[in-house]
Amino acid sequence: MEKTIKRLLLSKLCLAFLILTFALPVWAGSVYYVKSGGDDNAAGTSDGTAWAHCPGLTGWTGSAILSNSDIVYFDSGDTWTGSSGPLLNTTAGVTYDGSTYGSGTRATFEMIGGGGTGNNVIFLDSSNVTIKGIEVDMGGYSYSGISTYGATSDISNILINDCVVHNSSMPTNPMQWNYAIFVAGTYANVDVDTVTISDCTVYNIGHEGICVYPSGEGRTASNINIQRCTVYDCGQDGTSHPHCIYLTNDIDTILVEDCELYGGSPNINIGNKASGDEPDNITIRRNIIHDATGTGLVIGANYDSTPLNTTALIYNNIFYDNSNWSIFITRDLTTSNIQIYNNTIYHNPSGIGRAFEINGSAGTGTPIVLKNNIFYSTSALTVMKYDDVADEALVDHSNNLIYSSGSSNFYEINGVNYSQAEVKSSWDATAENTDPLFVSVGSDNYRTGAGSDAIDAGYDLSGTFTQDYYGTTRPFGSGFDIGAYEHPRPKPPTGLRIQN
């Protein structure tokens, strides 16, 4: 009995020790401050002893080094400049924060000369790094803003949050390839894994905006999240790849959500340049994709004719006013699985494209699933186009709404046009072919109004997702609505009393 009591007491003591141990704060490393007028040879541990630079930043003259879990705060009202890249070489495990300390909005890293392919302003060459609240101004020169370009070993666990990257060029003679935010390896056998790019703004970029692009065999990028970012006006130098977001080659498990993308051509491109290195497990959801200078979303673009083996889930997005196509799919997709659900497309083009087109695909099977989408077009062209009968046969479609205010022809297969009535009689009996009654096109409000045939007319996709663009639970009513929004219904009044 006494031994049993001792064992119980010992167990309780061990448990108390473990609880106390795990309750203790984890050592967060050292905190350093950097501001204009500071002293690199000071302690750097307070505003009064702040450095003028930090280890790895151009101009550093001190002897200190940074270690894992350190935090470097840059004064949010100050600017650091450089005429060659990189301006900042990061250290593994360190957080670089430009928005917490000082009275400004973000610390600014500005280039005042130099540039060229492979030149980065902030070079991510190490793991477990956070870049937060920093503005990168490339000064009109050819730089990549925040980039892993040139990394010689594997990198993982990167956070790029609340940064602004802008104002780069891409000279065409000689051609200099650069990106606002670049994720992926550029050397053989370099893998980049687990990167989050959140709440960032990218604009006025000579080449591409946010780019996930392993540049050849033996390089991969996996588990990349691009969330709540605004990317616009890319390809300002008239280059051949002015994408807002480019997802290409050997990448796996990529999420693009809650972003606004405009002024690119296309705004999103999913494809591959290296034969056999395909993007896989791509999710594009709840984004606003509009006013592309070319196409809203391209799937399959590359430089050869090999089949594209990719999986992509594209749902609850809003497309409007893209100059050419809203969604354009090309290549042999026989071995792909592309699911396009509950998107709202208001297609008011200035160019030649359709709201939805498949061009150049081949093979058998149904690698494209098209359900619950609204395709509305103001163009004199057809709303949807399949370049040949085989292309149309690739699509498993149901419960879509197709409508045109600019043409009597609603869809086209192999050069043959079909009318509004034939949407239901010839193409798909589950489809709708009437005006979706958007609330206010002039205010870019693409909710369906009362009386729309899109309400409760969708296919049940609750096994895949259960919310609309705004997070409203689907279905709200007797069935899924067609389009990105679930139609709101007035709630019955509460608290009523019957008075005599």
Give pLDDT tens digits for 434-444: 999 999 999 99
Instruction: Provide the pLDDT for residue 500.
Output: 46
Helical (H) or strand (E) element with 420: helix 420-422
What letter would DSSP give residue 432? B
Stretch 290-311: mean pLDDT: 82
Q: Residue 19 pLDDT > 60, yes or no?
A: no
Instruction: Provide the pLDDT for residue 115.
Output: 82
Helical (H) or strand (E) element with 341: strand 337-341
Q: Residue 331 pLDDT > 70, yes or no?
A: yes
Q: Name all domains of the chain by residue range, CATH numbers in brackets.
A: 59-264 (2.160.20), 303-500 (no CATH)
Instruction: Provide the pLDDT for residue 118.
Output: 78
Instruction: Provide the pLDDT for residue 497.
Output: 53
CA 151 to each of CA 119, 157, 235, 371: distance values in angstroms, whole numbers, following the listed order: 12, 14, 25, 42
Long-range contact set of residues 172-177: C-beta below 8 Å, sequence gap at least 24: 172/237, 172/238, 172/239, 175/117, 176/115, 176/116, 176/117, 176/142, 177/117, 177/207
Instruction: Provide the pLDDT for residue 116.
Output: 78
Confidence of residue 343 (pLDDT cuts 50, 70, 90): very high
69: helix, coil or strand?
coil
- Lowest average pLDDT, out of 47-61, 126-140, 240-254, goes to 240-254
Pairing of strands 445-448, 438-440: antiparallel
Please name the residue that has the structure tokens 């991510």: 124
What's this model's pTM, rounded to 2 decimal places? 0.91
Instruction: Provide the pLDDT for residue 177.
Output: 81
Instruction: Provide the pLDDT for residue 407.
Output: 96
Helical (H) or strand (E) element with 9: helix 2-23
Q: Residue 300 pLDDT > 70, yes or no?
A: yes
Instruction: Provide the pLDDT for residue 110.
Output: 98
Please, what's the b/e burial string for 21-41 (b: 16 or more CB within 10 A of its CB; e: otherwise)?
eeeeeeeeebebbbbeebebe
Pairing of strands 179-183, 95-101: unpaired
Neighbouring CB atoms inside 10 A of 243's CB total 31
pLDDT digits (tens, 9 = 90+) for 77-109: 999 999 998 999 999 999 999 999 999 999 999
Structure-token pair, residue 123: 């070079």
- Lowest average pLDDT, out of 109-123, 304-318, 438-452, 455-469, goes to 304-318
Half-sphere exposure of 303 (CA within 13 A, CB side): 6
Confidence of residue 412 (pLDDT cuts 50, 70, 90): very high
d(CA 334, CA 336): 6
Half-sphere exposure of 66 (CA within 13 A, CB side): 28
d(CA 462, CA 223): 25
Confidence of residue 11 (pLDDT cuts 50, 70, 90): very low
Confidence of residue 1 (pLDDT cuts 50, 70, 90): very low
d(CA 282, CA 247): 9
Instruction: Provide the pLDDT for residue 352.
Output: 87
- Chain centroid, CA 308 distance in Å: 21
Stretch 308-336: mean pLDDT: 90
Stretch 207-224: mean pLDDT: 89
Confidence of residue 7 (pLDDT cuts 50, 70, 90): very low
Please, what's the b/e burial string for 88-121 (b: 16 or more CB within 10 A of its CB; e: otherwise)?
bbbbebbbbbbbebbebebbbbbbeeebeebbbb
Neighbouring CB atoms inside 10 A of 443's CB total 8
Instruction: Provide the pLDDT for residue 85.
Output: 87
Instruction: Provide the pLDDT for residue 271.
Output: 85
Sheet-wide strand order for 344-347: 79-82, 107-111, 134-137, 164-166, 201-205, 230-234, 260-262, 288-290, 318-320, 344-347, 374-377, 401-404
Instruction: Provide the pLDDT for residue 141.
Output: 93
Instruction: Provide the pLDDT for residue 335.
Output: 75
- 490, 471 Cβ separation under 8 angstroms: no
Of the chain, the percentage scoring pLDDT greater than 90 comes to: 71
d(CA 370, CA 383): 14
Instruction: Report CA dihedral (88, 236, 197, 321) to the nearest 10 degrees.
Output: 170
d(CA 75, CA 99): 7
Q: Residue 218 pLDDT > 50, yes or no?
A: yes
Q: Residue 24 pLDDT > 60, yes or no?
A: no
Dihedrals phi, psi of 442, to nearest 5 degrees? -60, -25
Q: Which residues contact 180 (CB under 8 A, 6 or more apart)?
A: 136, 144, 145, 146, 165, 166, 168, 202, 205, 208, 209, 210, 211, 231, 234
pLDDT digits (tens, 9 = 90+) for 242-282: 899 999 989 999 999 999 999 998 999 998 776 667 889 99
pLDDT digits (tens, 9 = 90+) for 364-384: 567 899 999 999 999 999 999
CA 102 to each of CA 60, 73, 94, 98, 161: distance values in angstroms, whole numbers, following the listed order: 20, 9, 20, 9, 18
Stretch 483-490: mean pLDDT: 80
Q: Residue 477 pLDDT > 80, yes or no?
A: yes
